[in-house]
Every structure is written in C-alpha cells, then in structure tokens.
C-alpha cells in the first residue's frame, strides 16, 4: 500500500471517532460495519511489518468504535467487539490503544452494574498506559471515580478525579478534542459532576454541571442530555420530586429523536426510580409516559 492509502485509513478512523459526538448511533453503526469489512479485506493481503502494524491499529480503533456504538444502543453483542479490538491491538503491540480499549470497555461493565469489574478495567487501562500521555488514563480515571461513587467510597472518588485532572493535563491539544479517541475538559467536568451526584454531594455536582455545559457545543446531544438527567437526580436527592421529574422529562423531549438511545433511557429510568413520590404528580405521570416510548421515539 502507498503511504497515502495507509494515511487515508487512519484519517477514516479518526473521522469516525469525531462522529461519535454528533452522529446518531444507528447511522454510525452502518458506516462502521461497512468500513470494518473493507479494512478486513485490506488486512488479508501481505504488507510490510510497519504498514501492517498501522493497519492493525486502525482496525482496533474501528472495532472499539463498533463496541462503543453497540453499547450506546443497548446491544449486548458489544462485548465480543471489545475482545476483537483487544486482540487486534495486542497483535499491533500498541499500549496506548490497549489502554483506550480497556477504558471504554470499563463503561460496558459500569452500565451493566458490575462496579467491581468496571474499577478493575479502569485501573488496568491506567496501568497499561504506563507513562504515556494518551487518552486511555484520562478516560479511565473518571470512570473509576464514578464507579467508586456508586459504591459510596468518597476517598477513592477524590483520588481518581485527581488522577483524571493530571492525565488530562498531560494530553496534547490534538487529543483534547470532541472525539471517542480524545478526552476534554468538558467531559471531565461532566464525569466529575456525575460522580458527585452519585455521592449525593449535589452542590458540588451542580458546580461541575455548570462548567461542563459552558464547554460543550450545542450539538453534543448525548453528554448534554446525560448532564440534564444528572441535574434531575440532584433535584430528587434534594427532596424536590416534581422538579426532578420535570427536568428529566424536559431533557428527554428536548433531545432529537434519533439521539434518544438506550443509554439515555437507562439513565432516565434510574432517575425515575429515585422519585417514586412524583408518581401522583402531573410531572411524574408525564415522565412515566415518555419512558414508556421505545428509545428513539417521542
């Protein structure tokens, strides 16, 4: 292959990483499947070792994006794509990619309520990176904080968020971009807010939410919606079930239909479970009506 051909594959993977911030999951899934199939056919041919390694890293990136997209859609087949991605990254002997994959796979366990496993994978992601200034540790440390928050371990939450600040500070500007392959100040503020929400430290959580919303662009629908649901959770924790239900409902209805993924509804149902007192209120009934819709409709 020519240098231009290899660079084009690397650019394609990077473009798909950026697309995770704005493209509806179903549409991106179709693109990723087609591109992964094309890259598989390229890899079936013989290449010089240096070229093959770069193509393997690209394939690991596409596999990871497939897993991440399926996770957002609530499709359990995402687990097999994490394994595929790790195998390919290991063949390329790329520690930064391995770290990135373990960090994102930790989210799979986190959303499946395997908090011990999520912490284990997040710690492994940070260990694999060693001293490399790469996105893996910056992604993994905040996820570790969120999992520890759900376990009620405030000291570990604070320690993990400190490591997250350090990891973000070490990233090159080119890695602090809106992309699945990067990590940014806006994401850290969102994830810190989520951790403090789970710790029921609502004032501190709101401060992080406010900072995150100032940084996120308007078209970053998923994270902005998750912040809105965190704010609803804070209202519930502060004893205002009507405001919590109203905030959650507004967040769901304000989200474009194509972005109402299974991940969003998962978090919204979590909020609804925390506001049982709202069931007799108009706001609570409206939230229940919206949650009965299939993801992607409304």
Asked if residue 97 has pLDDT above 50, the reply is yes
Q: Are 86 and 98 within 8 A, CB to CB? A: yes
Q: In the structure, what pLDDT confidence band is assigned to residue 298 with cuts at 50, 70 and 90?
A: very low
**pLDDT for residue 293:** 64
For the residues 120-145, what does the mean pLDDT come to? 95
d(CA 59, CA 172): 23
Conformation bin of residue 234: beta by default, left when phi > 0, alpha when psi is -120 to 50: alpha
Q: In the structure, what pLDDT confidence band is assigned to residue 201 with cuts at 50, 70 and 90?
A: very high
Rounded to two decimals, what is the model's pTM? 0.87
Q: What is the pLDDT of residues 231-268, one digit of tens each?
A: 999 998 998 988 999 999 999 999 888 888 888 888 88
Q: In the structure, what pLDDT confidence band is assigned to residue 295 with cuts at 50, 70 and 90?
A: low
What average pLDDT is seen over the chain? 92
For the residues 201-228, what does the mean pLDDT come to? 94
**pLDDT for residue 4:** 93
For the residues 146-151, what does the mean pLDDT come to? 96
Q: In the structure, what pLDDT confidence band is assigned to residue 277 with cuts at 50, 70 and 90?
A: low
**pLDDT for residue 294:** 61
């Amino acid at each position: 292959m020519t240098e231009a051909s290899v660079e084009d594959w690397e650019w394609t993977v990077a473009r798909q990483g950026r697309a995770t911030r704005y493209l509806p999951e179903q549409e991106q899934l179709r693109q990723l499947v087609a591109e992964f199939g094309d890259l598989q056919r390229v890899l079936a041919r013989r290449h010089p070792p240096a070229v093959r390694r770069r193509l393997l890293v690209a394939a690991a990136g596409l596999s990871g994006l497939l897993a991440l997209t399926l996770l957002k859609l609530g499709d359990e087949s995402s687990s097999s794509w994490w394994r595929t991605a790790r195998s390919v990254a290991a063949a390329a002997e790329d520690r930064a990619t391995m770290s990135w994959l373990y960090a994102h796979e930790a989210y799979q366990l986190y959303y499946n309520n395997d908090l011990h496993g999520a912490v284990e994978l997040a710690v492994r992601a940070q260990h694999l990176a060693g001293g490399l200034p790469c996105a893996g540790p910056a992604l993994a440390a905040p996820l570790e904080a969120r999992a520890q928050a759900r376990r009620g371990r405030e000291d570990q939450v604070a320690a993990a968020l400190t490591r997250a600040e350090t990891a973000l500070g070490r990233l090159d500007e080119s890695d602090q971009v809106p992309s699945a392959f990067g990590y940014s100040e806006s994401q850290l503020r969102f994830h810190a807010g989520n951790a403090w929400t789970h710790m029921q430290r609502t004032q501190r959580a709101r401060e992080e939410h406010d900072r995150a919303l100032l940084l996120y662009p308007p078209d970053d629908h998923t994270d902005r919606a998750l912040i809105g649901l965190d704010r609803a959770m804070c209202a519930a924790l502060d004893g205002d079930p009507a405001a919590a239900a109203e905030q959650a409902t507004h967040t769901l209805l304000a989200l474009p239909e194509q972005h109402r993924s299974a991940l969003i509804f998962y978090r919204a149902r979590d909020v609804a479970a925390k506001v049982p007192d709202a069931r007799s209120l108009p706001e609570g009934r409206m939230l229940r009506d919206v949650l009965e819709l299939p993801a992607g409709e409304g």
